[in-house]
Amino acid sequence: MKHNFGAGPCILPKEVFQEAAQAVIDFNNTGLSILEISHRSKDFEAVISETERLVRELLNVPQGYSILFLQGGASTQFAMVPLNLLPEGGKAAYFDTGVWATKAAKEAKKIGQVEVVASSSDRNYTYIPKNITVPSDAAYFHYTTNNTIYGTEVFDIPQSAVPVVADMSSDILSREINVADYGLIYAGAQKNMGPAGVTLVIVKDELLGKTGRTLPSIFDYDSHIKGGSMYNTPPVYSIYVSMLNLRWLKAKGGISVIEQENIVKARTLYDEIDRNSLFKGTAEVEDRSRMNVTFVMNNPELEGAFLDLAKERGHIGLKGHRSVGGFRASIYNALSISSVNALVDTMQEFEEKYK
């Protein structure tokens, strides 16, 4: 039995893998593989519209927002956001809470003026700065809701008089949000929504078309909106598997139900980290992520031995990101509480041996 704590691409429910595998052989009893059907076929139109409906329903997306399924990952959004929302001569505000946030700001700087409103780089991004001030003359304010590498999460949306843009790659669909609080949300699917290859964008239509910039069509949200995410060939299979995962989430009871499970999983693991004499958390307690749990050992020399034992017990993907070290247990939606309990058991077994 494997317990996949990898940070992304992520674990998905077993029944999603099974149905996705079946569709590669025979999709909907068509006698064709999902991999060979036309994206203009009725069968795929049904898939993409159901995927969009499920996103709208699960996240309670209000009127006036378009939903897009794009390629190029969250990293492409680092450029598309300023290209589409930052007017010529204008400026954008960015919140620097980690590597992904820094990368987003760096790309925006190539397109216009960027003001970094606050940064936690002084303590290697182990906390979320509070009471920040967003300049009212910015075109938008960008932040990363969950810092995948450092294990910090922003639970309260920062005060901002200007439209808020959020990179939700690693906590989308993990907890309830109010979409109306945002001008634009984007998320690479492969952390919590589906497989790699598709990126979700939810954008408030009224924000578009105001930059005075002429864009290549492929980088223009408007072409994708007009084309119903089929301006060009969409990532058919990634959208299909995301749809299966969204169906799974809906059948479970939706986001309010998964959020409660995520709270219990995170609490279980942090409680053990705080109790166990060998381990300690790296993120500020109040900013601890419910998706990526980062921790180290009081004696770093034991880290190799713990990884060996974890491997023996079937725990995959626990090694921390190189910029933090130690361990990172990613406990996304599809990771069950039994996998968290298995990790806790392994930590206790290790403590017995080495304390």
Ligand X SMILES: *Cc1c(COP(=O)(O)O)cnc(C)c1O
Residues forming the site for ligand X (CB under 6 A): 8, 73-75, 100, 144, 148, 167, 169-170, 188, 191
Has 4 been labeled as part of a binding site? Answer: no
Structure tokens at 31: 């006698």
Closest to ligand X by CB, 114 or 347: 114
The one catalytic residue in 100, 171, 220, 287 is 100
In whole angstroms, the minimum distance from the beta carbon of 114 to ligand X comes to 17
Please name which of 240, 182, 196, 213 lies closest in space to residue 59, comparing C-alpha atoms: 182
Has 167 been labeled as part of a binding site? Answer: yes
Closest to ligand X by CB, 103 or 247: 103
Please name which of 221, 327, 336 lies closest in space to residue 7, comparing C-alpha atoms: 327
The residue with its CB nearest to ligand X is 73
Give one DSSP letter per residue of 210-271, joined into a string. -S-----GGG-HHHHHHTTT-SS---HHHHHHHHHHHHHHHHHT-HHHHHHHHHHHHHHHHH
- Upstream peptide bond of 300 is cis (omega within 30 degrees of 0): no
Has 268 been labeled as part of a binding site? Answer: no
Closest to ligand X by CB, 37 or 200: 200
Check if 252 is active-site.
Answer: no
Closest to ligand X by CB, 74 or 296: 74
Has 233 been labeled as part of a binding site? Answer: yes
The one catalytic residue in 96, 167, 171, 287 is 167
In whole angstroms, the minimum distance from the beta carbon of 190 to ligand X comes to 6
In whole angstroms, the minimum distance from the beta carbon of 253 to ligand X comes to 26
Structure tokens at 166: 């959020």
Check if 167 is active-site.
Answer: yes
Alpha carbons 333 and 322: distance in angstroms, whole number:
24
Check if 191 is active-site.
Answer: yes
Has 100 been labeled as part of a binding site? Answer: yes
Closest to ligand X by CB, 75 or 113: 75
Asked if 143 and 164 touch (Cβ cutoff 8 Å), the reply is yes
Asked if 173 and 193 touch (Cβ cutoff 8 Å), the reply is yes
Please name which of 318, 274, 322, 256 lies closest in space to residue 292, comparing C-alpha atoms: 318
The one catalytic residue in 96, 191, 248, 265 is 191
Alpha carbon 241 to chain centroid, angstroms: 16
In whole angstroms, the minimum distance from the beta carbon of 143 to ligand X comes to 10
In whole angstroms, the minimum distance from the beta carbon of 12 to ligand X comes to 16
Query: How many residues appear in the chain?
Result: 355
Has 146 been labeled as part of a binding site? Answer: no
Q: Which residues are annotated as a binding site for L-glutamate?
A: 40
Q: Which positions are catalytic?
A: 100, 167, 191
Q: Which residues are annotated as a binding site?
A: 40, 74-75, 100, 148, 167, 190, 232-233
